[in-house]
Amino acid sequence: MNLRTIRRALLSVSDKTGLIELAHGLAAFQVELISTGGTRQALADAGLPVRDVSEVTGFPEMLDGRVKTLHPRIHGGILAVRDNPEHVKTLQKHDIQPIDLVVCNLYPFEATVSRPGATHEEIVENIDIGGPSMVRSAAKNYRDVAIVTRPDQYAALLEEMRRHNGALSLATRERLAAAAFARTAAYDRAISAYFADRTETGPFPAVLDLRLERRQVLRYGENPHQRAAFYVEPDAPAASVARAEVLHGKELSYNNLLDLDSALNLVREFAEPAAVVIKHNNPCGAAIGATLVEAFRKAYEGDPLSAFGGILGFNREVDEATAMQITGPDRFVECIIAPGFSDAAFHILTTRPTWKKSVRLLKTTGELTPPTRRDYRRVDGGLLVQDRDWGSNDFAQLKVVTKRAPTEEEMRDLRFTWLVCKHVKSNAIVLGKGGMVVGVGAGQMSRVDSVQIAVRKAGERGKGAVLASDAFFPFRDNVDEAARAGVTAVIQPGGSVRDAESIQACEEHGLAMVFTGIRHFRH
Give me the DSSP letters along 178-198. HHHHHHHHHHHHHHHHHHHHH
Dihedral in degrees, nearest 10, Cα atoms 287, 291, 293, 295: 0
Q: What angle do CA 472, 477, 482 make, to 5 degrees?
A: 85
140 a catalytic residue: yes
Catalytic option among 87, 140, 164, 250: 140
β partners of residue 378: 383
Let me know: does 477 contact 503? Beta carbons within 8 Å: no
- CA atoms of 453 and 440, how far apart (whole Å): 7
Residues 6+ apart with CB under 8 A from 188: 132
Dihedral in degrees, nearest 10, Cα atoms 289, 294, 297, 299: 10
β pairing state of 310-314 and 274-279: antiparallel
CA 334 to chain centre: 21
Residues 6+ apart with CB under 8 A from 338: 312, 313, 314, 315, 316, 317, 318, 362, 363, 364
Phi first, then psi: give them for residue 364, nearest 5 degrees. -85, 160
Query: Counting beta carbons within 10 angstroms of the beta carbon of residue 400, is it exposed (0 to 12), middle (13 to 18) or buried (19 or more)?
Result: middle
- CA atoms of 123 and 110, how far apart (whole Å): 9
- CA atoms of 108 and 187, how far apart (whole Å): 9
Q: Which residues of 105-143 are buried (b: 16+ CB within 10 A; e: fewer)?
A: bbbebbebbeeeeeeeeebeebbbebbbbbbbbbbebbe
- CA atoms of 288 and 204, how far apart (whole Å): 37
β pairing state of 399-400 and 512-515: antiparallel
Residues 6+ apart with CB under 8 A from 511: 402, 404, 479, 482, 483, 487, 488, 489, 490, 505
- CA atoms of 393 and 181, how far apart (whole Å): 44
Instruction: Report which residue type is found at 213.
Output: E
CA distances, 178 to each of 75, 146, 389, 473, 486 (Å): 19, 11, 38, 55, 64
Helix (H) or strand (E) holding 155: helix 154-163
Catalytic option among 16, 164, 250, 280: 280
Length of the chain in residues, anyone? 523
β partners of residue 362: 246, 337
523 a catalytic residue: no
Q: Known catalytic residues? A: 140, 280
